[in-house]
Every structure is written in structure tokens, then in C-alpha cells.
């Protein structure tokens, strides 16, 4: 166990297999982060004293300049001794539910589309999460955990469900495909800032593609049940290439208010369309559909989105072009 002292700030303990950022967040400190995977650079800190090494040696956000300045990535840095570090804490990153590492057992797998399934785990101790957050899941045989968003955490905090898309030739996908109920994994969470803001009294727009379905369903479900947001519309856009990719509607139909204040807008991007059926709905990309559907109204909406990187980038640009205030935009960049 190492002691990490933040210059002009608090000290906290970091366990032998923990990273400095995760240990800080577990201890309730607002250590900045986003992707938890060495990609965004948000968790960078300066090492003033002590020794660390990176779990992921080829972290994309880590460069020569960092090495020269003795800067490290908090989400990857494992301490080799007690350390003194310099980082600016920010209350924005303090967790409502500090993440914990918990053993979990797979209890159910339910297919949603041809390549998305819902995996439900039972954790050994109750742990809560906010709607829209994610967890790090360590699968059997994998050396590093993968970030997956929950679609639901049960009220008692014991059941965590994730909607996960299978990636062709993906290592984690291959492991997931072989899992059966009874399999044991480790879950570390919750993490993430793209959670439902119940205090934001605005109509809600959720935009998803791929396994971005999972956090957006979580946000939509919680918004539908929230008394603080009872008067607010919930618009859910889901983008897929073909009809077989579309999903989410049955989950929204199960919510009170579907068809009245909850609306599903599917969008297809590819031609020709699969199957014999004719698609008469929206075509194009979800960011274009959102701009067409809501235009000027976007500025007055609370926007949540999750999906593959090109989709997320296009949505970010579209929201910027439509002058949506940054504080109303919520997404986690952890791919
Ligand atoms: Fe550490 Fe993104 S690089 S949180």
C-alpha cells in the first residue's frame, strides 16, 4: 500500500494493483479523468517524488514531452513507492458513489440485436451508480479491464446490467462470446460524468449508436422515472447502418409516458437496406437527424450521447454549431 500525497492537498492510500487516479477517486477526491484507458490525457499529473510505472506502456495520450517533464497518466500510473504529486483537483470529478472493486457473477445473457447482447451480473456487495455511468470490467483471461456502460443498476445495487456490442476480431468480444452464466468477473465502478442531471429542468435528448445504447437507455429510464423531470420530453435517437442494427424501442415502450412525452427516432445510414422491408423512416446520420428534428430547440435541451468515435465527434461538432451550451452536453470519452 503506497501513500500518495498531493502537493498542497490531501493524501490517500493506493493499493498494490490500483492506479493513482482510481485510488484518489475511491477516496472521494476530485482527481480529473475521463476515459480511464490512457487515451484522453485528462488525468495527467506531475510526479514530484517517488516512482511509478504505467500499466499500459503504449498509452496513446502519453508522449515524449510528458516523459521529459516527469508527467504521468493517473489512470495508468501504478505507484512503486510512496509518492508526492502535483495535480489540480476539481470538485466536478468527486463521485456521488465512489467506485469500488467487486467480484461479480454472470447471471444472464439476452440478445438484443445480431451483435448487441445484454449481460447481467450479480455483484457480491451492494454498490450504487448514477444513470449513464460506466464500469471497468475485468474479463477472465484479459490482462486489462474494459470500460462498459451500465444500462441498469438495480435499486438494491446488487445487479448490474450492460448492453455490449460484439466487435469483429475483438479480444474482449471473443471472451464475452464464450462466457456462460456462472462466469466470474471483476467489476470496478462506477465511473463517468455523463450521468443524468435531475436538476436540469430541460427537455432531454439522448443520442446513441452501437453499444452507446446502454448508457442512453439508462439515462432515459431514470429520466422517465424522475419526479423532478416529470414534465419534460425525452427524445431518443438511435442510429444504425441497417434495419437489423436498430434497437432500444421496446425498452422505451416499457416506460410510462412512451408516445406521449417519450419519443423514439430511429435513423439508418446505409443503402441498400437489408431485408425485403422498405424503410420509410429517417435516413442519414444521427447528428444530422438531431439537427433537422430540433434545430433551434437544441439550445434548450439537456443532451446526452454515446456511440462510436466518428459519431461522437460529429455530434460534438453539430452541438457546437448549434450553440448548445457546453454545460448541457454530457458524454464520456472512453473508447
Ligand atoms: Fe487517463 Fe483518460 S488518459 S483518464
Over residues 32-58, the mean pLDDT reads 93
- Ligand 1 atom with the shortest distance to the CA of 59: 3
Instruction: Choose which residue among 23, 24, 41 to substitute to test ligand 1 binding: the one with the highest number of ligand atoms within 8 A of its C-beta.
Output: 41
Q: 19 CB less than 6 Å from ligand 1? A: no
Q: How confident is the model over 50-81, as pLDDT tens digits?
A: 999 998 888 899 999 999 999 999 999 999 99
**Between 286-294 and 309-321, two packed helices, what is the crossing angle to 10 degrees?**
30
Sheet holding 282-283, edge to edge: 282-283, 262-268, 234-240, 203-209, 301-306, 329-330
- Retrieve residue 135's grid coordinates: 464500469
Calpha distance 190→130 (Å, rounded): 8
**Residue that is last in its domain, among 191, 222, 245:** 191
- Ligand 1 atom with the shortest distance to the CA of 35: 2
The protein residue with its alpha carbon nearest to ligand 1, atom 3, reads 38
Residue 93: pLDDT over 80: yes
Residue 334: pLDDT over 80: no
Q: 285 CB less than 6 Å from ligand 1? A: no
> φ and ψ at 6, to 5 degrees?
-85, 130
Instruction: Note whether 297 and 208 are same-domain residues.
Output: yes
Residue 273: pLDDT over 60: no
**What's the distance, CA 279 to chain centroid?**
31
pLDDT over 70 percentage in the chain: 97
The helix, strand and coil proportions of the chain, stated in percent and rounded to the nearest 5, come to 25, 30, 45
Instruction: Note whether 323 and 222 are same-domain residues.
Output: yes
**Helix, strand or coil, per DSSP, at residue 220:** helix
The pLDDT score that the predictor gives to residue 278 is 78
- Ligand 1 atom with the shortest distance to the CA of 38: 3
The pLDDT score that the predictor gives to residue 205 is 98
Cα(287) to centroid(ligand 1), Å: 26
**Residue that is last in its domain, among 191, 223, 249:** 191
Calpha distance 223→219 (Å, rounded): 6
275, 303 contact by CB (below 8 A): no
Q: What's the number of domains the chain is made of?
A: 3
Q: How confident is the model over 205-248, as pLDDT tens digits?
A: 999 999 999 999 999 999 999 999 999 999 999 999 999 999 99
Instruction: Choose which residue among 73, 136, 332, 333 to substitute to test ligand 1 binding: the one with the highest number of ligand atoms within 8 A of its C-beta.
Output: 73
14, 80 contact by CB (below 8 A): no
Cα(282) to centroid(ligand 1), Å: 36
Q: 210 CB less than 6 Å from ligand 1? A: no
218, 131 contact by CB (below 8 A): yes
**Residue 235 falls inside a structural domain:** yes
Cα(193) to centroid(ligand 1), Å: 13
The pLDDT score that the predictor gives to residue 1 is 93
Calpha distance 209→315 (Å, rounded): 11
Cα(153) to centroid(ligand 1), Å: 24
- Ligand 1 atom with the shortest distance to the CA of 39: 3
The pLDDT score that the predictor gives to residue 48 is 98
Over residues 250-276, the mean pLDDT reads 87
85, 45 contact by CB (below 8 A): yes
226, 198 contact by CB (below 8 A): yes
The pLDDT score that the predictor gives to residue 57 is 82
Instruction: Note whether 305 and 208 are same-domain residues.
Output: yes
Calpha distance 318→303 (Å, rounded): 12
The pLDDT score that the predictor gives to residue 143 is 86
Residue 277: pLDDT over 60: yes
- Retrieve residue 272's grid coordinates: 441498400
Calpha distance 189→135 (Å, rounded): 4
Over residues 103-124, the mean pLDDT reads 97
Cα(30) to centroid(ligand 1), Å: 14
CATH number of domain containing 128 = 2.40.30.10
Range of the domain at 50: 2-93
Instruction: Note whether 179 and 258 are same-domain residues.
Output: no
Over residues 244-273, the mean pLDDT reads 91
Q: How confident is the model over 145-182, as pLDDT tens digits?
A: 999 999 999 999 999 999 999 999 999 999 999 999 99
Cα(200) to centroid(ligand 1), Å: 27
**Residue 196 falls inside a structural domain:** no
Over residues 241-268, the mean pLDDT reads 95
**ipTM passes above 0.90:** yes
The pLDDT score that the predictor gives to residue 91 is 96
The pLDDT score that the predictor gives to residue 333 is 81
pLDDT band, residue 279 (cuts 50/70/90):
confident
**Residue 197 falls inside a structural domain:** no
Calpha distance 48→84 (Å, rounded): 5
Cα(62) to centroid(ligand 1), Å: 10
- Ligand 1 atom with the shortest distance to the CA of 73: 1
The pLDDT score that the predictor gives to residue 307 is 94
Average pLDDT, the chain: 94
pLDDT band, residue 274 (cuts 50/70/90):
low
CATH number of domain containing 45 = 3.10.20.30
Calpha distance 116→89 (Å, rounded): 37
Instruction: Note whether 65 and 153 are same-domain residues.
Output: no
Amino acid at each position: 500500500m503506497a501513500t500518495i500525497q498531493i502537493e498542497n492537498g490531501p493524501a490517500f492510500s493506493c493499493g498494490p494493483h490500483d492506479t493513482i487516479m482510481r485510488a484518489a477517486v475511491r477516496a472521494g477526491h476530485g482527481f480529473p479523468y475521463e476515459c480511464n484507458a490512457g487515451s484522453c490525457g485528462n488525468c495527467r499529473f506531475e510526479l514530484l517524488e517517488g516512482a511509478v510505472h504505467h500499466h499500459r506502456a503504449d498509452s496513446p495520450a502519453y508522449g515524449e514531452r510528458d516523459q521529459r517533464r516527469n508527467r504521468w497518466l493517473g489512470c495508468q500510473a501504478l505507484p512503486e513507492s510512496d509518492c508526492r504529486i502535483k495535480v489540480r483537483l476539481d470538485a466536478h470529478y468527486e463521485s456521488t458513489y465512489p467506485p469500488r472493486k467487486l467480484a461479480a457473477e454472470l447471471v444472464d445473457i439476452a440478445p438484443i440485436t445480431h451483435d448487441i447482447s445484454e449481460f447481467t451480473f450479480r455483484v457480491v456487495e451492494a454498490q450504487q451508480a448514477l444513470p449513464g455511468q460506466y464500469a471497468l470490467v475485468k474479463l477472465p483471461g484479459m490482462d486489462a479491464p474494459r470500460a462498459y456502460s451500465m444500462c441498469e443498476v438495480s435499486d438494491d445495487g446488487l445487479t448490474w446490467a450492460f448492453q455490449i456490442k460484439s466487435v469483429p476480431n475483438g479480444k474482449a468480444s471473443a471472451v464475452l462470446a464464450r462466457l456462460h452464466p456462472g462466469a466470474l468477473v471483476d467489476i470496478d465502478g462506477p465511473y463517468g460524468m455523463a450521468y443524468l442531471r435531475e436538476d436540469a429542468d430541460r427537455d432531454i435528448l439522448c443520442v446513441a449508436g452501437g453499444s452507446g445504447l446502454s448508457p442512453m437507455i439508462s439515462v432515459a429510464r431514470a429520466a422517465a422515472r424522475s419526479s423532478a423531470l416529470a414534465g419534460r420530453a425525452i427524445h431518443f435517437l438511435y442510429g444504425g447502418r441497417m434495419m437489423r442494427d436498430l434497437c432500444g424501442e421496446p425498452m422505451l415502450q416499457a416506460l410510462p409516458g412512451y408516445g406521449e412525452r417519450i419519443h423514439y427516432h430511429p435513423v439508418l445510414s446505409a443503402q441498400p437496406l437489408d431485408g425485403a422491408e422498405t424503410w420509410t423512416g429517417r435516413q442519414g446520420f444521427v447528428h444530422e437527424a438531431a439537427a433537422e428534428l430540433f434545430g433551434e430547440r437544441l439550445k434548450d435541451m439537456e443532451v446526452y450521447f454515446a456511440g462510436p468515435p466518428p459519431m461522437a465527434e460529429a455530434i460534438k461538432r453539430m452541438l457546437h454549431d448549434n450553440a448548445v451550451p457546453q454545460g448541457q452536453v454530457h458524454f464520456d470519452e472512453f473508447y
